[in-house]
Amino acid sequence: AGPQSLIGSIGVISESKDYSELLDNLGIRTNTIKSGAHKDILSSSRKMTDEEREILQSINKDSFDQFVNVVKEGRQMSESKVRELADGRIYSAQQAKSNGLIDAIGYKDKTLKDLKKAIKVENPEIITFDPEESNLTSFLGMKSFINGLR
Q: Which fold has domain 1-106?
A: peptide peptidase (sppa) fold (3.40.1750)
* pLDDT at residue 122, rounded to an integer: 79
Reference 10, options 110, 108, 113, 79; nearest CA is 79
Say how far apart CA 132 and CA 150 lie, in whole Å.
14
pTM above 0.85, yes or no: no
In this model, does residue 136 exceed pLDDT 90?
no
Give mean pLDDT, residues 86-111. 94
CB 71 within 8 A of CB 100: no
Would you give the distance in Å from CA 22 to the centre of its chain? 30
In this model, does residue 145 exceed pLDDT 60?
no
Give mean pLDDT, residues 69-86. 96
Could you tell me the residue ranges of all domains in the chain? 1-106, 107-150
In this model, does residue 57 exceed pLDDT 70?
yes
Say how far apart CA 149 and CA 6 lie, in whole Å.
9
In this model, does residue 83 exceed pLDDT 80?
yes
Reference 38, options 64, 62, 58; nearest CA is 58
* pLDDT at residue 32, rounded to an integer: 95
